[in-house]
Structure 1
Amino acid sequence: MEFAYTPKVQSLRTRLLDFMDEHIYPNERRQAEEAHQSYLNALKSGGLYTGLPLLEELKAKARAAGLWNLFLPEASHGAGLTNLEYAPLCEIMGRRYWSAEAFNCSAPDTGNTEVIARYGSEAQKARWLQPLLDGEIRSAFAMTEPAVASSDATNITCSIRREGDEYVIDGRKWYITGAMNERCKLFILMGKTDPDNANRHRQQSMIIVPADTPGITVVRDMALVNHYDAPFGHPEVVFENVRVPADNILLGEGRGFEIAQGRLGPGRIHHCMRMIGMAESALEMMCERVVSRVAFGKPLAEQGVWRERIAKARMLIEQTRWMVLHAAWRMDTVGNKVAASEIAMIKVIAPNNCIQVIDDAMQAFGAMGLSQDTLLVNFWAYARHLRVADGPDEVHRNAIAKHELAGYANPKGK
């Protein structure tokens, strides 16, 4: 295993760090103000969240700097980076959770773009792929449902039934990230085309649903740990007698679970990469705080409890980083399916380790750490939601255990 940065990655990393210093960190207040105004406008009008002018400005700058679509391994569409090469770059973007969109590297667009690029028909690519690659539109992935335990994807109840040259969709989804944004122009929706199939993993299909199709109702935005995430949002959406052309099906009926597994592997590891960046930022904030804050006659940095917490934070971050790099290397060398156990492990390890780092940083700030005056509460909310998003910890731990026990259940020669 060789995890050293290639010259190409080193160059991109240097340029990305410079971009963060010049354009992202100085605009934190403006981003927060524009996001809050977007939320207030939607609240007043009962409409969707408007995009942020700042992000449109930054997209143009990032594209001009060659820092665009870095997540795509296909050189024809993106930077041609492997998962291992993308890891340190995604980590840098994670230092400010909103910055990934400036580089057209934000979820769920990354996963949806990969789905269309890899599984879409030529007609689907012609209509949707280039606008996504250009950052002109946004998208959403409609899978989670409020009425069932969506951690088991075979439970979903949303119906996709064929009627002539159309599919008719009926169902209710929620926590559909990005769907509150006025620039969200399509859903990739997972539902059941063959609910009676004896093979539970062949019941589901995925289909592209234009966001302006009649019958789609955005019911409400869902708070994420009591935070409304403008301008993206995570709304509850109802699909009622929604009709789309039969050509909108992805890969064919019964292939939805297969597509989901291919989509979620990179999506999960990208979340973990960003999570490391947030934890690094939290540790920086904690260190700055404890060297400048005096309690009981001496700086916090000279008190044993804070040295212990800082040492623990550094170890937790490094453990997470090396596990993520190893998982990325495995994905590149043996494929996502074979690397499923490594992906599951980092999906549990990353949010749990990083939550601890962020929580200790919040403690260092005292009351301020619970307020809007630092980014730590937002970091904590992002990390906490990752223990549920893209599969809860319990599901991943179960998968890891099954993989570990497989050789013992039917030992060779017995």
Structure 2
Amino acid sequence: EFVHELAGALDGRDSVDCIFLDFSKAFDVVSHDLLIAKLHGYKIDKKVVYWISEYLSLRKQYVVLNGCQSEFADVTSGVPQGSVLGPLLFMLYLNDIVGVVSSPMRLFADDCVVYRKIRASDDVDILQADINAITDWCKLWEMNINFKKTVHIPFTRRRVPSLSTYTINDEPLTVAYEYKYLGVFLTSTLSWSKHIDYTVSKASRMLGFLARNFKPVPRSLKERLYFSHVRSILEYACTIWDPHTAVQIIKLEKVQNRAARFVLNNYDRRLSMTRAKQSLGWKELSFRRKNLRLKFFNNIFHCRTGIDRNAYLHPPDYISQRKDHVYKVKEFRCKSDVYMNSFFPKTIRDWNGLPASVVNIVPNDMFYSTLTS
């Protein structure tokens, strides 16, 4: 949804200023007393709040260094990491921060971004006021913003962007043109070249490690290692960045080609990679990415995600009785490649092109297995 908003803004020749906030030791500094007060504010059952209070209280910690143990110290802040409740309690603690800003804001655990379309100087002032409000909220709730890791990225298609200056406590924020957000590199032009290069490099390093250390193992184990440790890297969040250029598609597929050689233990240059992958039953990564997009879209269409389908999926102006299926969705009008090849516009075109026998399948597992076959 966030990338769709950015791509749509760029398609309309708008600029979007994004402030990616970094909270210092976010999970460790949550005040237990303030958290309990906030839970009461949410009108959560008093018995549940009392139980959570008991769960957090009387925790102690100590340090061992060179065999010497320190004295016990009381733990009065932080949510227990690695626990089931920890992330939920943190989200409840942070959730009301969205109420202090007027600009759009997105939260995922301790990753936070506030952003705004910049059409006039007033928009810059509003976004700066939101940053000030966030700073005040952090002081009130004893959270700390890591100034050095908080960055401003101007998303724009303009060759010479007009840069605005944003500050925290009168210190100007660093301007960056790329940022790794939730494991995906975003650039100011929404090009995916940086992320794809990073993905190929990371997957290649892992494949090299497997090839060096698991050469004599059975083929079935090699294949499982590839699926779990390499292909998972190649397909992480690929519904967002699925490339449309041949150069990037080939670059990603080359990693799978090398993986096929590793699994088959065949490094003969004359080996046909198409036949090698067919013998393994592997599909092209581009085919898999398309199907993964459609699988996710099917979940959105049938309201099985947190995404509001009515915000993105609308009835078409016309349905051809001969060519179209009854689940056809209105396609987006796009002026730029960035928007045209983003998730919703691209996947809606693919969805509308599916046969009726496929889109009529409601269970997602059956839908996906039909696509892949």
Q: Tell me the TM-score normalized by structure 2.
A: 0.26
Q: Relative to total residues, which structure has the larger helix share, 1 or 2?
A: 1
Q: Tell me the TM-score normalized by structure 1.
A: 0.24
Structure with higher RCO (Cα < 8 A, 6+ apart): 2
